[in-house]
Amino acid sequence: MCGIVGYVGEKEASDFLIEGLRRLEYRGYDSAGIAVYDQGKIQIEKKMGRLANLEKVLETHPLHGKIGIGHTRWATHGGPSDVNAHPHGDCHNHFVVVHNGIIENYMEIKKELLEKGHIFKSETDTEVVAHLAEELDDGDFLSTVRKVIARITGSYTLVFMDAAQPDTIICTKKDNPLIIGLGQGENFIASDIPAVISHTRRIYILNDGEMAVVRKTGVSVYDGEGLPVSKKIHEVTWSAEAAEKGGYPHFMLKEIYEQPKAVRDTVNIHIGQDSQIVFDTLNWNKSDLMGMDNILITACGTAYHAGLVAKHYIEQFARIPVEVDIASEYRYRRPLTTERTLAVVISQSGETIDTLAALKEARRLGARSIAVTNSIGSSIAREADRVIYTLAGPEIAVASTKAYTTQLVALLMLALYMGQLKGTVTNEQVQDVVKALQTLPEKIEKILENSQYIAGLADHLTKVKDVFYIGRSIDYAIAMEGALKLKEISYIHAEAYAGGELKHGTLALIVPETPVIAVATQDDVKSKMYSNIQEVRARNAEVIGIGFDDDRELEKYVTETIRIPRVSGFIAPILSVIPMQLLAYYTGVKRGNDVDKPRNLAKSVTVE
């Protein structure tokens, strides 16, 4: 996920470009750059790191001109660096582009262009677009862009400049956002409304396949066939602050709602031909797996909870023993890690110091390592032997939501992939899970549609002092994540217990004023779980049950039911966690807390 801006008008383009990028920095922040038509050519300045680094460069090398484009990057192809930062130009910076998304067939096009003598500077998929435009240039900017689009596959927002037409920007999109802000004698391009809202509230929202020709005098939009499209002008009514969050009151809620897309993106990159699971970055064969005695998963907080679920996945599908350890504990207990151990570290930020230290320790003891992370080029990604990226996009709220569900997806697919290689799963099992994963985004949407009901349930929690979460098997791991969410956002004491463990002490704390959240999605322990719920109800505690929509029995034992669509027990955690995220969110909001930045916490914990 990257941020894109463009400007054409009478003012200094770079002023708007920098201001717009600042408002879009939440979309990506590993590098930034701008291109401006200045002194008869398109000039580019770009810099790795936060926008401030680029601003510093521009202090000594300012770009003056009235038309330009800009980009803030969240790396996908090619790590964060000056050279991989956008904008990208062709061999002569005749065509210059910024891009958000992925060009899937860039390798094939790049090979062809290299043979024709094009010289590439970066490792990005984006650069091929600029060179392709140079190759296909027929002197007509719009027609050239159309030819480029016809050749590329993937998802993209693309914005082009052409040195031969220094009064025009052309942009188009597929599966990625793009809006055009309509001004007086000036027009603006952006990935998202916050970039333009202080200049105009009148916008066009581009549809997939449409192309906009943007000049200071006006904007013309064409469909994929090149026919003019008459666009409706949207009047933005949000405040600038609300717009940054895409209209959501908090980043946390926005990120909860981004889960269908985040899950879809993470699933899709691991599905290969014949619906087999692929992990290109691992480059393993069967003997690599046969050489592993055990797997160590280590992580912190929510990522640790994802590891607890992954233990079930890996032991079931790959039949390799898995130990899950809190990263800050692991290296202080003389662990029995050897060169026959595979260490899997999980970290959204890729910068958590405890996780990084645990990874280094496991490697020092000889383990091979994989990092599952959401941050390309992060310290953990660089330290590990192999990396699996979750495609959650930037997560801003301190409480992890979409990073967690994408971790579960990646780890489930990893477990199946290992089973595939080892021969411990059948092709049919793989296909069943793949099919279920492909329909998961719709099921998440369905849960999200029910959010007002969950908001209502949060009223039961706002005044209480303690909440218990119970579950058995995988549901216990999910209960731990639910309890953590409630603690960090609402500041209410919450504990998770394995359903069968309550009677060994904790039941003494269950009183009518202590609500219990019971997760009941695992068929093999269903009857046991119902008994545990009845133990709690017998102490007159209110129980909110989370179960499948066709489970008529659960509702007999609980006071309120949150229903999720029926899926297999392995997929269930990816769904059952969502109502718990919403419950925590609404409870925190109703208690007046700053849910995006809860007290005492930080997004990335880089201290021990």
Q: Which is nearer to ligand AGP, 162 or 596 (CB)?
A: 596
Question: For 31-105, where are the alpha helices, taking DSSP H only?
Answer: 51-60
Sheet holding 368-373, edge to edge: 322-326, 294-299, 341-347, 368-373, 386-389
3-state secondary structure of 292: coil
Q: Which is nearer to ligand AGP, 51 or 381 (CB)?
A: 381
549 contacts 535 by C-beta, under 8 angstroms: no
For the CB of residue 251, give the shortest distance to ligand AGP in the complex, in Å.
12
Burial track 53-63 (b if 16+ CB lie within 10 A, e otherwise): bbbebbeeeeb
For the CB of residue 369, give the shortest distance to ligand AGP in the complex, in Å.
15
Interface map 566-605 toward ligand AGP (x if CB under 6 A): --------------------------------------xx
- Report which residue type is found at 136: L
Q: Does 348 bind ligand AGP (CB under 6 A)?
A: yes
Tell me the CB-side half-sphere exposure of residue 148, using CA atoms within 13 A. Answer: 34
Burial track 331-366 (b if 16+ CB lie within 10 A, e otherwise): beeebebeeebbbbbbbbbbbbbbbbbbbebbbebe
Catalytic residue among 11, 487, 528, 603: 603
According to CB under 6 A, which residues from 25 to 54 bind ligand AGP? none
Determine which residue in the list 17, 102, 399, 510 makes contact with ligand AGP, applying CB under 6 A: 399
Interface map 155-194 toward ligand AGP (x if CB under 6 A): ----------------------------------------
Determine which residue in the list 31, 341, 400, 587 makes contact with ligand AGP, applying CB under 6 A: 400
For the CB of residue 386, give the shortest distance to ligand AGP in the complex, in Å.
18
The span from the CA of 347 to the CA of 373, in Å, is 5
Q: Which helix (H) or strand (E) holds 322?
A: strand 322-326
Determine which residue in the list 347, 406, 473, 522 makes contact with ligand AGP, applying CB under 6 A: 347
The span from the CA of 4 to the CA of 34, in Å, is 10
Length of the chain: 608
607 contacts 353 by C-beta, under 8 angstroms: yes
| 300 noted as active-site residue | no
Q: Which is nearer to ligand AGP, 31 or 347 (CB)?
A: 347
Q: Which is nearer to ligand AGP, 593 or 604 (CB)?
A: 604
Q: Which is nearer to ligand AGP, 412 or 433 (CB)?
A: 412
Q: Does 398 bind ligand AGP (CB under 6 A)?
A: yes
For the CB of residue 592, give the shortest distance to ligand AGP in the complex, in Å.
20
Q: Which is nearer to ligand AGP, 126 or 302 (CB)?
A: 302
Phi, psi of 122 (to 5 degrees): -115, 175
| Number of residues counted as binding ligand AGP (CB under 6 A) | 15
Task: Give the residue from 67, 59, 51 showing the smallest Cα distance to 14.
Answer: 67
Burial track 294-305 (b if 16+ CB lie within 10 A, e otherwise): bbbbbbbbbbbb
According to CB under 6 A, which residues from 467 to 496 bind ligand AGP? 488
According to CB under 6 A, which residues from 249 to 308 bind ligand AGP? 300-303
557 contacts 542 by C-beta, under 8 angstroms: no
Q: Which is nearer to ligand AGP, 57 or 605 (CB)?
A: 605
Q: Which is nearer to ligand AGP, 72 or 375 (CB)?
A: 375
| 603 noted as active-site residue | yes
Tell me which residue has its CB nearest to ligand AGP. 301
Interface map 99-118 toward ligand AGP (x if CB under 6 A): --------------------
The span from the CA of 381 to the CA of 365, in Å, is 19
Supply the DSSP symbol for 87.
Answer: P
Determine which residue in the list 31, 355, 379, 473 makes contact with ligand AGP, applying CB under 6 A: 355
Catalytic positions, written as ranges? 2, 603
Q: Given the rule CB under 6 A, which residues bind ligand AGP? A: 300-303, 347-349, 352, 355, 398-400, 488, 604-605
